Structure 1
């Protein structure tokens, strides 16, 4: 998609972006709970130390209040578009029977960075459309390899009576910009075990090629672990002696270390932004369920365990090392932040919910550029966070529970009640004032820019643009 007319000219002042554009290595993992890594209280306590990730956490900024949307598709949509997924019709994991994923009208971070001269690639899980026209190479990535949907489909082959003629198995695919993607092989349980090692290898190969070409790159290593079934690579199976989950954690740490070593070997360390994050909270499905650390709940819910995730960013000489912050940040902020740093543009013809966090990340400001977030679960505004307070409008204990509208919203102080225990309800109703302003601002924006319904086919044009 051409961005002309839809973007500002970028953060125009020349001094706003460095003369040499930084590379971006974005390592995104799937359903890693807040408490899994050593730097977040896990690691050895989960059966496997995570030395490479812990070291990365100390080499830059580590956030303790990074928030994502609570499901895979919405979180990936929000990070790549800078918009709450409710706006894009991507507010829930798709289950088939309708067009799925992002419409071509949406502008992604990859498209913006590509327009700014970056080589772009995604290796791994996509989950934002599985048909030609809505695959990564249709949404700004020069090349991609991975799975269009999600890892649990590898379990089809272990299901009694599985009939591929009624439900085709997921395929591992690859594609290049301007071409149709092609199917390579079936994503079964054997391939599930091998996938992340292959994604790591391809990510490194991409960085090597761009380093040789002296071209800035955006490499999105969208790893599939620890999404269920949590099965480690055969090289790591049994390596910890503490089961598949710990073996997977050791494998993840190793894979990240391999990519970091490649950055160093290529002489790119000082000019490469490395981001590590999880797409949402901990895995829920047993026996693969993860750990949310001090927080309540897991993914598919508005509890902190569903939305608060590990996040670290390293950029030597720009992002101060050994810094930890509990300031609120949301996944939607990544697009405007990275666009500002890279000298790229952000769409001006639609609401952008993300805010530029470059001053906060680089230490020029000790405060986040936001004080609160809206928390959507499916198409419901389930909660609002503002500073250390959180207001729940629905009760939903886990992904299997039906949401129940609360007659009186439940207000929690996350400092004194991190588990969001209903018996510790706060009655300081003054804090609902700024929360209601946030909701009002969102609702006002929807009146001017209606939400895109889930299942909307291409071509899509917003109602105002569609008028003669």
Structure 2
């Protein structure tokens, strides 16, 4: 019976794979069998235009020489997108599935069992099974309680905050009382053990936490290299999410305000991690990825910058979803390459799994597409042409090649999405700010095929509602 259930499950899942291009392919062949280390650094609300390599840096009053050099040493993407909010982006990176599938399609605000169900299979679980030491340091935002914390989802150890940084402002808010709503805790935990709270996440701790995230990340890499074990170090920085407060040691370093000081601190923290990789002698065998979870911070006085794009997180505009991305892997990823090919953050699961030989689930619809040959320069073309854009549980738009089809109008996160009587089409080459609809209606055909493929894939695997408790199993496997 169990085998027949699994067969039925895989048959249902295969519908999606046929429609969305198969991603299950053999492991990348390498000259040796040594698995590469992975240092994955994810910034929080870092806009497309913040770093020098993307037109920011000194133009923002904040030189970013380390990250600019990292961009020159590998591949820099100019057309990679994430989801519209931080929880969905983190979910899609972790699971290789659009967050609408997993009940993680919006930032949770309490009152329900938020986060990933234990049925979801994360890249940390896949890499752990493949022999990696795994750790997450920083922001999680995919579950707040034991059972749904990083050490329950494949990470050997973790340190950081279970939710988000703006909660550090609660203690300074008028009328706030921890007797009514307790402050978020900075926590740590190890696989197989309950996580434990360390201290309240206050504004004071907010200024210090990224330095501690960096210190622990460095220590973890040092320990694993000494032990002779490949590592997956997921560094989930809390900067530049509001309140954008630099570490006291960086306060005033630029003379251009907290935002600039913060960017310089972030660049310095990345520099410490990269120096550790070099000093440990594992540079050539370490994949380094730096990216952001969505578009820029925009609350005054913490203004980020989306470069040439319009919009911020929570919107389907390019400024809300297009992010910086750079990857370095010496002798594998050609240095100095820049590409405008379409990639999505969800693709990181299949890409890293193929490179490392890790397991990709075949018992559920996967949205992740293997981009390993594209990233390593064996192909100049991405394996992806487009994707749906969700705002919470609403399909806001579809992107395909250089066009975007908007079903709703929404200029900021505070604007309710307004259903358009007639969807409008944008050519991003001629209108990067998405202000002048075109009449290129022929592009609706491939765009609507993307929507139809996604909808077809949900027939055997209904979307998981937000707040679904554990244990969870899809109807087809009950």
Query: Which residue does 1:438 correspond to in 2?
Result: 450
Query: Which residue does 1:451 correspond to in 2?
Result: 463
Displacement of 1:289 = 2.3
Do residues 76 (structure 1) and 90 (structure 2) align? yes
Query: Which residue does 1:339 correspond to in 2?
Result: 353
Displacement of 1:286 = 1.6
> 2:62 is matched with which residue: 35, 40, 48?
48
1: CA distance, partners of 2:366 / 2:285: 28
Query: Which residue does 2:476 correspond to in 1?
Result: 464
- Map of 1:106-121 to 2, 5 A cutoff? 106-121=120-135
> 2:160 is matched with which residue: 141, 146, 169?
146
Do residues 224 (structure 1) and 226 (structure 2) align? no
1: CA distance, partners of 2:87 / 2:224: 29
1: CA distance, partners of 2:464 / 2:335: 41
Q: 1:90 is paired with a residue of what secondary structure?
A: coil
2: CA distance, partners of 1:312 / 1:18: 25
- Map of 1:234-273 to 2, 5 A cutoff? 234-273=248-287
Q: TM-score, normalised by structure 1?
A: 0.96
> 2:147 is matched with which residue: 123, 133, 156?
133
Displacement of 1:18 = 4.9
Query: Which residue does 1:88 correspond to in 2?
Result: 102
Q: 1:447 is paired with a residue of what secondary structure?
A: coil
Displacement of 1:24 = 0.1
8 Å Cα contact 2:48/2:319 also seen in 1: yes
Q: What are structure 1's unaligned runs of at least 5 residues?
A: none
Do residues 378 (structure 1) and 389 (structure 2) align? no
- Map of 1:392-431 to 2, 5 A cutoff? 392-421=406-435, 424-431=436-443
1: CA distance, partners of 2:399 / 2:208: 39
Query: Which residue does 2:46 correspond to in 1?
Result: 32
Do residues 215 (structure 1) and 229 (structure 2) align? yes
> 1:156 is matched with which residue: 170, 195, 205?
170
Q: 1:431 to 1:176 in 2, by over 3 A?
A: same
Q: 2:39 is paired with a residue of what secondary structure?
A: strand
2: CA distance, partners of 1:384 / 1:12: 30
User: Size of the alignment, in residue pairs?
Assistant: 459
> 1:295 is matched with which residue: 287, 291, 309?
309
2: CA distance, partners of 1:145 / 1:188: 16
2: CA distance, partners of 1:100 / 1:255: 30
Deviant stretches of 4+, over 2 Å: 5-8, 10-18
2: CA distance, partners of 1:289 / 1:457: 37
Query: Which residue does 2:371 correspond to in 1?
Result: 357
Cα deviation 1:309-334 (Å, max 9, x = unaligned): 00000000000000000000001100
> 2:291 is matched with which residue: 262, 277, 292?
277
1: CA distance, partners of 2:87 / 2:27: 35
Q: What are structure 2's unaligned runs of at least 5 residues?
A: 1-5, 15-23
Displacement of 1:410 = 1.1
1: CA distance, partners of 2:442 / 2:406: 15
8 Å Cα contact 2:388/2:398 also seen in 1: yes
Q: TM-score, normalised by structure 2?
A: 0.94
Query: Which residue does 2:117 correspond to in 1?
Result: 103
Backbone CA RMSD of aligned residues: 1.4
1: CA distance, partners of 2:291 / 2:399: 20
